[in-house]
Structure 1
Amino acid sequence: MIRPLSVYLGLRYVRSRHGNGFASFISASSTIGIGLGVMVLILVLSAMNGFERELAKRLLSVVPHGEYIAVTSAIDTWQQQIEKIEQFDDVIAAAPVIKLGGLLQKGENLKALEIRAVDINKEQQVSAITDFITDGQWQNLNGQSLVIGKGIAKKLKVKVGDSVQLIMPRKSQNSSQFSAPKKYNMNIVAIFDFGGTIDETLAYMPLATGDAIAELNGAVHGIRLNVADVFKAPQVIRTIGQELDVYVYMNDWTRTQGHLFNDIQLVRTVMFVVMLLVIAVASFNIVSSLFMAVNDKKGDIAILKTMGAKPSTIMMSFVYQGLVNGVLGAIVGAGLGIYLSLNLTEIITAIEQSFNIKFLSGDIYFIDFLPTELDIRDVIFTVTAALVLSLLATLYPAWKATKIDPAKVLGQI
């Protein structure tokens, strides 16, 4: 097989380097460093992709993508408004909502909560809450009934079928006079387990019941939307809101839950920069190994130059020699990174079970496991970055090799 002289010399110098213990150690350390950097960077990016996927799949399947909340008076033409909203291509569905706040009491236990009075059929079109029902049935939500989060049920020590007392503030015509709160007996018909703070604060009741409590006479406080692309929700909400003929506040999920997405992006950026610096440091170990190689091969370089070897041939010989470290490190690191990324959730679960620890708590975060999603574009970009940094590290030592004066070197032999 015919190979260019520079490739032949570069590979030969790589093989001869194994006889030099210190040079071999420096070379191996650079390869290992590049491999570890590539592997960890792929792992981190895959984990961040997994968190973004779960954010869209889980959190935004329950939290509305957008809401229109009445400013002054309740929306009494909400049926017509929903028909108008659902005509837009970016909207999957819309549903009415009445927002209430109150206290839930069971015996001596008391819990403050946010209540969403919803149409049980339309709500399923804008929310995947039924996927998270762990006890009871969503369709049983009718009359004086509630669907509550697992955190609320745990706090009040109640279960499906129990009766609780809902305490609501009473409207008073005289703002200086305190009115006794209204009390309603409610039945728990279902419990949902989503994870995070939502389980601790949120409850659902039928739209008709909420209408009777809030005395809205068939009107609603707002309309909830489910859009096709969650990351375009702010733009979609603004565009549609300007077409409505009611005076409303325009809210989207980025105002209430956007901090989670911003945190993911921040961690992604910081970890990317840190791990890229690790790869850069490992890559520049190539500089040390190549300088030692150039110093060791001065005689060979001088002889090659006297035989008519071009400077480009000599330079490329050492560039190829240095690139071997980058290529090996990038390939091995990418292989390990891909394998670990595809199995990261199972590996972390096995570690948690073996050592009886929990890395992510469902009571704090919206998930209790470490998600992962491998994106081949991240692999390509990471490997390319490692190879580019490795190439840059070889240029100066290889260029210095072309500046060796044959007369001085051969005169000392």
Structure 2
Amino acid sequence: MAKSLSYFLARRYISQKKNTGFASFISASSTIGIALGVAILILVLSAMNGFERALAQHLLSVVPHAELVSVNEPINYWQQQVNNAKQQPNVVAAAPLIKVQGMLQYKDKLKGIELSGVDVEQEQHVSAISTYMVAGDWQHLLKENSIIIGQAIADKLGVSVGEQLQILLPPMRQEVDVKRQFNAMSKRNATVVGIYKFGGEIDAQQAFISLSQGQDIMHYEPHQVQTIRLAVEQVFDAAKVAKQVAYKTDAYVYIYDWTYSQGHLYNDIQLVRMVMFIVLVLVIAVASFNIVSTLIMAVNDKKSDIAILKTMGARSRTIMMTFILQGLRNGLVGTLIGGVVGTVLALNLTDIARFLESFLGAKLLSGDVYFVDYLPTEVNSADIYLTVCTALLLTLVATVYPAWRATKVDPAQVLGQV
């Protein structure tokens, strides 16, 4: 009965048209503020989810999930090591790799790069780099003295497919003459057989040669390699899977996973998510506590009604619930509007960003700087529930004090002044 009376009174007070002017402005601003806060929070969380998905599906499609790098001696009989790694749980693929730091020279231009010697066939199982070729062909890497470079490297040096450049390499350990203070860099000629364009720093740093060329540079035997690359089912389990594979390897190896090279991106995404969540929750809190002003004015306006209700035997709980329900109305409306608007915008965020890019004639995200050239989005129902529940909880908290103040109205004092 008390709950029904509270609901009836709250609905009647809300439907009354007496609240005009400043009170109506405060009430409307609290509703709009909650709606904006909820909508923007859903948008931000969806964008962060999109960046996290892009990191896992796009960037980590070419960045190794995990690597087992030899400590002192090369890894022997790499074919057997690769086959053993593939048999381990959660390992999708494995491939050999030789990495060398060096420079590329074309005429009077130089560019520092990381040179990767890869098995042309097996590399395609652990990396999608072959799908980003914009000139030449990945299979041409099988040709003698061939090299595939990124678009940024090609632009820096001013080379195209078919042109020849020089690879400058530091002296390997076997080549170092301890009697000489300085050792000249070794030079090798290579022909550009392909150019890839992935975006970000990878284009400007990574070049590929065949595994046999890498073995020749490092003075390895055909069965020796420096690194075993792994592709795993769940990228966030890469460290654990790499350790399991390393324990089954009969070579001394360092264990690396993608978090060593790209983990800062994931940490940045999580940091932005946390900061934006806190900031926008505070925005919702400020909007919610505008309800305090609205309800206090409502309580002052309804003092005579409260006094009459008390003299008729209404309990304090009934009066308190009346004003709580009245205040929750703003929170419910604002949360509903913000949730619907935020979800619709989040679902179409990528298209909206592309429209703005075409309208403004500028890129919001540059592929030369970031690992994606579009604004990704992924709507997660858990984020929507969290946002809605947070907004409603803050609204409920904001209604408690004014509703409690209503229960402290003294009927004798109020009715004695009438």
Q: TM-score range by the shorter chain?
A: over 0.9
Q: Within 5 A, what are the aligned runs for 1:97-108?
A: 97-108=97-108
The Cα shift of 1:121 comes to: 1.0
The answer for the alignment partner of 1:354 in structure 2 is 359
For 1:326, give the aligned amino acid: G
Which runs of 5 or more residues in structure 1 are unaligned? none
CA contact (8 A) 2:104 2:167 kept: yes
CA–CA distance in 1 between the matches of 2:277 and 2:394? 15
The answer for the alignment partner of 2:185 in structure 1 is 181
CA contact (8 A) 1:163 1:188 kept: yes
CA contact (8 A) 1:148 1:190 kept: yes
CA contact (8 A) 1:227 1:233 kept: yes
Which runs of 5 or more residues in structure 2 are unaligned? none
The answer for the alignment partner of 1:246 in structure 2 is 251
The correspondence for 1:262, drawn from 264, 267, 273, is 267
CA contact (8 A) 1:82 1:223 kept: yes
Q: Within 5 A, what are the aligned runs for 1:184-203?
A: 184-203=188-207
- The list of structure 1 runs, each at least 4 consecutive aligned residues, that deviate by more than 4 angstroms after superposition, is none
TM-score w.r.t. length of structure 1: 0.96
Q: Within 5 A, what are the aligned runs for 1:8-157?
A: 8-16=8-16, 19-142=19-142, 143-157=144-158
CA–CA distance in 1 between the matches of 2:156 and 2:345? 39
The Cα shift of 1:245 comes to: 1.2
CA–CA distance in 2 between the matches of 1:324 and 1:292? 16
The correspondence for 2:285, drawn from 271, 280, 285, is 280
CA–CA distance in 2 between the matches of 1:200 and 1:16? 67
CA–CA distance in 2 between the matches of 1:114 and 1:356? 35
CA distance 1:330–1:98, change in 2 (3 Å): same
CA contact (8 A) 1:17 1:23 kept: no
For 2:165, give the aligned amino acid: V
Instruction: Name the % identity.
Output: 54
CA–CA distance in 2 between the matches of 1:132 and 1:39? 36
For 2:150, give the aligned amino acid: G
Paired residues in the alignment total 411
The Cα shift of 1:114 comes to: 0.6
After superposition, give the CA deviation of every residue in 1:371-406 in whole Å (9 maximum; x if it has no partner). Answer: 111111101110010001101111111111112111
1:169 maps to 2:170: yes
CA–CA distance in 2 between the matches of 1:68 and 1:78? 12
The answer for the alignment partner of 1:211 in structure 2 is 215
The Cα shift of 1:17 comes to: 5.2
CA–CA distance in 1 between the matches of 2:373 and 2:112? 25
CA–CA distance in 1 between the matches of 2:190 and 2:148? 10
CA contact (8 A) 1:67 1:225 kept: yes
CA–CA distance in 1 between the matches of 2:274 and 2:17? 38
For 2:349, give the aligned amino acid: L
TM-score w.r.t. length of structure 2: 0.95
Which moves more between the two structures, 263-272 or 403-412?
A: 403-412
CA contact (8 A) 1:18 1:24 kept: no
CA contact (8 A) 1:195 1:367 kept: yes
1:366 maps to 2:371: yes
The answer for the alignment partner of 1:332 in structure 2 is 337
CA–CA distance in 2 between the matches of 1:18 and 1:200? 67
The Cα shift of 1:117 comes to: 0.5
1:232 maps to 2:233: no
